[in-house]
Amino acid sequence: MLDAPVSGGEPKAIDGTLSVMVGGDKAIFDKYYDLMKAMAGFSGAYRRYRRRQRHKTG
């Protein structure tokens, strides 16, 4: 699984310069790197994704 929020709106989507912040498994990131690079002009930054549950009481 990759967590990859996207920012930049329609103009950046059209010209392929979206900002995509990706976290997840490195092997999956590497597999889809070319696809993400086509959308975002990737620099190759990567961060391991950790699932966390937060419970709110009150």
Q: Is the pTM of this model over 0.85?
A: no
E strand or H helix at 27, and its extent? helix 26-40
Q: Which residues of 3-22 are buried (b: 16+ CB within 10 A; e: fewer)?
A: ebeeebeeebeeeeebebeb
User: What does the pLDDT profile of the chain (58 residues) look like in tens digits?
Assistant: 888 888 888 998 888 888 888 888 888 888 988 888 888 876 655 556 555 544 445 4
Q: Work out how many domains the chain is built from and give that number.
A: 1
35 occurs within a structural domain = yes
Domain assignment of residue 56, yes or no? no
Is position 50 within any domain?
Answer: no
- Are 48 and 23 in contact, with CB atoms under 8 Å apart? yes
